[in-house]
Structure 1
Amino acid sequence: MIDILDAVLSEDGTGADVSALPVPESYRGAVLLAEETTMFEGVASADKDPGKSLHVMDVPTPEPGPGEALIAVMASAVNYNTVWSAIFEPLPTFSFLKRYGRASASAARHDLPYHVLGSDLSGVVLRTGDGVTAWKPGDRVVAHCLSVDLQSPRGHDDTMLDPEQRIWGFETNFGGLAELALVNANQLMPKPAHLTWEESAGSGLVNSTAYRQLVSRNGARMKQGDTVLIWGAAGGLGSYATQLVRNGGAVPICVVSDEHKAELVRSSGAELVIDRSAENYRFWKDEHEPDPREWARFGRKIRELTGGEDPDIVFEHPGRETFGASVFVAARGGTIVTCASTSGYQHVFDNRYLWMSLKRIIGTHFANYREAWEANRLICRGMIHPTLSISYPLDEVGDATRSVHLNQHTGKVGIRCLAPREGLGVSDPEMRARHLPAINRFRPATTEE
């Protein structure tokens, strides 16, 4: 692995140099063990500790098959699917691997008693399988997380509709929280030249998801002048959504959980901000009954900020905690677009406010390759910026995942896999210099100039 790292970090290294390196028989990765899936039985979700279930350990290196690529992973990132996986909710991911393993002889490789997690990466192509022509060893890449074979006609208009689509590193094995990763070649995209490895690694999942949710014809089809309510605007998804809304000529209403996060989104150019903790919103009377009076109070706050307008689009992902309020406050004819349920999957809302006001609920899930590529292109052009707040070494992936589980983070939490330190991987320093304040917006005070 040291030889691979030396080749990647070398200023005069070539693809031929990378191709000539031997592939290690094993590598280190962030791993769940099938034998431990019951370890949190009887423990409340909030009290489950990902640091106890995630293990950094050596696993055998898979060989890339037709259409696949083996990547030397410089950096990755923690996503909510990392949290769900590590606390074994809503069910252990080994059920996904087992079901996938029945699909084909090639897929059977994924059905193992261990699961290497991770749905983001930045790194360098190490090897390619038969039939891969778009990428070669030595290419600097990032990856999106859609794994799809496209043998069904249903996926050929939108690959996310393919019945066999899966999220890599969540519903498949050999994910990106590791020194090596196995991906389909059609998951790869160019690494932004002006960003470091850890900055590049954190955008693939969340930026693509937010792009489909807001901009794509498969999502809310946001237009200029729309008012968009963004839950968790300082988090991973929300921080990209805020940028996409502003870039698209729409007006973000950013909901955050404390004043520090409020200042972060204001520094991104958002003017309408709601600190839900300061306002003390309680959308549920108790565990079982929502409180419509709080929905109405929240709606009045939105109208106060907007001059009497309701949100044309609600960018939903918290789920159970907020969904009733989201349906209530959306404008007549408005859209609630949801991609997750981080606070719970069982949603409760008053359907009268949906059907009688002609509102729509749209479900979106990650993005297809075209959407992911377009979202990545915005980053490569410096139109959307990474929101990395901190990065951890691979050995501390449990601590990093715990911080996301407890909502102690802002923006994205990165993981340095092969990258020995922060700040490496920039090949366009001039472009970086033009965008440095925006790149570092979510970071603590930095001395980079």
Structure 2
Amino acid sequence: MQSSSKMSEAVVAGADAADLASLPVPGHFPAATVRDSDVDIFKDMEDKDVRKSLFVDQVPMPELAPDEALVAVMASSINYNTVWTAMFEPLPTFQFLKQMGKRGGWEARHDLPYHIVGSDASGVIVRTGSSVRRWKVGDHVVVSPAYVDEQEPDTHRDGMLGEGQKAWGFETNFGGLAHYAVVRASQLLPKPTALTWEEAAVNPLCASTAYRMLVSDRGASMKQGDVVLVWGATGGLGSYAVQLVLNGGGIPVGVVNSEAKAEALRSLGCEAVINRAELEEGDPTLLERPDGWKKMGRLVRSLVGEDPHIVFEHVGRKTFAASVFLARRGGTVVTCGSSTGYEHLYDNRYLWMRLKRIIGSHGANLHEQFEVNRLITRGHLVPALSKTYTLDEVGEAARSVQTNQHIGKVGVLCLAPGPGLGVTDPQARARIGERRLNMFRA
């Protein structure tokens, strides 16, 4: 669904701040939505195909709160939380929106019969609320998905600990898979100047989540020489995790499910690669049993000579028991999700008797986001973009992630008329190199 306004045309044309400030914002705009009326469409269905529940609708422009900015979204990306939203699992996200609505004030806007999804974005600020100080119209930005309440005491200890912390575009409305998005000023970071819109858009959620899990002192505090087992090592989270392990002097052991993904992983510089298809030999339940854990443990030791110091876990039910077993004595399992199920069964003897730790990790606070953005800007982390869709194709884009047919991250062009746009520092891009920047698209 294509839609145009004078503001949208000006943004695409690269208009300056004065022109953007003088133009009216559109009354409606295209956005990827799920609908409250559809929450039961997958009842008793085994394949909850998100192409049946994701739509591109014309939605009204919301009013802007004093601490918010309106971003004209040039590009966004698909994260697994968008897949969850579109499947209405583990519960419909309209419950989150209704809870926000009950708090009243500006939060009442979020309780709508449609949910604009998307937890990543790159774009241009076109309006700022009256209390926004550090950002102005015309700034090129990327959006952190950490939506926090700055008036909560715990937020000032760690933005992810406040009771009001939410995942933008998943637990809030007005997300990034749209022509315009409403964000809090505390979500904004400068767009890396060497990157295209779509390259910049795919990083914030996954790169920062992996950083907090591995590098931050609130995560596993990885050190030089640590062996790190990374499940799904060519996925959105895993592809950044492998880069962070290599950058920090660690030894990644990447787990993938095909030879094509194994080759992609080796191109990143990961020498120790486990192809689950070869390990399981046709038995997809192998890693849910002790004999499978032990077989994988032997394989890890044959590749790197020792057990993992850290296991990077986000798969959930199908791998969690193996993760607890595989971590070395005194080792750490750090987890941020459960894409195969939230209810985990594991043998607790391997945890308590071998003094292991399980660390729960969720998103990243603004300082962690800033540190990751700095690494990306300097070219020390490269975008995991593998394929780009248009907003009209958002259902297909989400389906590719739902069925695990992708590697890295899947980008979605929103206002950007095509790929390859948005680079404002060609020299910095040349220093990083096109080969590295296109590594996941090769």
The TM-score normalised by the length of structure 1 is 0.95
Q: CA deviation at 1:283?
A: 6.7
Q: CA deviation at 1:43?
A: 1.3
Cα offsets for 1:320-372 (capped at 9, x unmatched) = 01001000010100000000000111111100000000000000000111111
Contact 1:63 1:70 survives alignment (8 Å): no
Q: CA deviation at 1:38?
A: 0.5
1:355 counterpart letter in structure 2: W
Corresponding position of 1:447 = none
Corresponding position of 2:291 = 293
Cα 1:110–1:211 change in 2 (3 A) is: same
Q: What SS does the aligned partner of 1:262 have?
A: helix
2:327 counterpart letter in structure 1: A
1:234 counterpart letter in structure 2: T
1:302 pairs, out of 300, 303, 316, with 300
User: What's the C-alpha RMSD, in Å, of the aligned pairs?
Assistant: 1.2
2:55 counterpart letter in structure 1: H
1:293 counterpart letter in structure 2: D
2:346 counterpart letter in structure 1: F
Corresponding position of 1:77 = 77
Answer yes or no: is 1:131 the counterpart of 2:127. Answer: no
Distance 1:6 1:398 in 2: 25
Contact 2:149 2:155 survives alignment (8 Å): no
Distance 1:284 1:361 in 2: 23
Q: What SS does the aligned partner of 2:105 have?
A: coil
Q: CA deviation at 1:133?
A: 1.0
Where structure 1 has 5 or more consecutive residues not aligned to the other structure, the ranges are 445-449
Distance 1:283 1:296 in 2: 15
Corresponding position of 1:214 = 214
Contact 2:5 2:26 survives alignment (8 Å): no
Q: CA deviation at 1:431?
A: 1.6
Distance 1:290 1:8 in 2: 51
Equivalent residue runs for 1:199-210 within 5 Å: 199-210=199-210
Answer yes or no: is 1:325 the counterpart of 2:309. Answer: no
Cα offsets for 1:379-413 (capped at 9, x unmatched) = 01111000100010000100000010000000000
Where structure 2 has 5 or more consecutive residues not aligned to the other structure, the ranges are none
Corresponding position of 2:404 = 407
Distance 1:153 1:41 in 2: 41
Contact 1:290 1:348 survives alignment (8 Å): no
Bigger drift between 70-79 and 431-440 goes to 431-440
2:425 pairs, out of 407, 423, 428, with 428
2:292 counterpart letter in structure 1: E
2:6 pairs, out of 3, 6, 12, with 3
Cα offsets for 1:241-276 (capped at 9, x unmatched) = 000110011110000111111111111111111011
Corresponding position of 2:29 = 27
Q: CA deviation at 1:14?
A: 1.4
Distance 1:298 1:81 in 2: 29
Corresponding position of 2:44 = 42
1:328 counterpart letter in structure 2: F
Corresponding position of 2:181 = 181
Distance 1:291 1:279 in 2: 13
Corresponding position of 2:356 = 359
1:89 counterpart letter in structure 2: E
Distance 1:257 1:5 in 2: 42
1:143 counterpart letter in structure 2: V
Distance 1:187 1:176 in 2: 12
Corresponding position of 1:313 = 310
Cα offsets for 1:16-53 (capped at 9, x unmatched) = 11111110000000001101100001112xx1111000
Bigger drift between 95-104 and 296-305 goes to 95-104
1:222 counterpart letter in structure 2: M
Distance 1:283 1:227 in 2: 25
Contact 1:231 1:318 survives alignment (8 Å): yes
Bigger drift between 396-405 and 147-156 goes to 147-156
Distance 1:246 1:20 in 2: 47
Contact 1:283 1:291 survives alignment (8 Å): no
Q: CA deviation at 1:72?
A: 0.3
Distance 2:378 2:214 in 1: 19
2:300 counterpart letter in structure 1: I
Answer yes or no: is 1:368 the counterpart of 2:365. Answer: yes
Contact 1:77 1:121 survives alignment (8 Å): yes
Equivalent residue runs for 1:220-239 within 5 Å: 220-239=220-239
1:91 counterpart letter in structure 2: L
Bigger drift between 274-283 and 404-413 goes to 274-283
Distance 1:188 1:155 in 2: 17
2:426 counterpart letter in structure 1: P
Corresponding position of 2:97 = 97
1:43 counterpart letter in structure 2: M
Q: CA deviation at 1:119?
A: 0.3
Q: What SS does the aligned partner of 1:127 have?
A: strand
Q: Percent identity of the aligned residues? A: 57
Contact 1:283 1:294 survives alignment (8 Å): no
Contact 2:288 2:319 survives alignment (8 Å): no
Bigger drift between 184-193 and 425-434 goes to 425-434
The TM-score normalised by the length of structure 2 is 0.97
Q: What SS does the aligned partner of 2:97 have?
A: helix
Q: What SS does the aligned partner of 2:370 have?
A: helix
Contact 1:283 1:321 survives alignment (8 Å): no
2:439 pairs, out of 438, 441, 445, with 441
Q: CA deviation at 1:2?
A: 4.2
1:33 counterpart letter in structure 2: R
Cα offsets for 1:165-188 (capped at 9, x unmatched) = 101000000000000000001100
Q: CA deviation at 1:284?
A: 3.3
Corresponding position of 1:383 = 380
Answer yes or no: is 1:419 the counterpart of 2:420. Answer: no
Q: CA deviation at 1:5?
A: 3.8
Q: What SS does the aligned partner of 1:30 have?
A: strand
Q: What SS does the aligned partner of 1:66 have?
A: coil
Cα 1:139–1:66 change in 2 (3 A) is: same
1:438 counterpart letter in structure 2: R
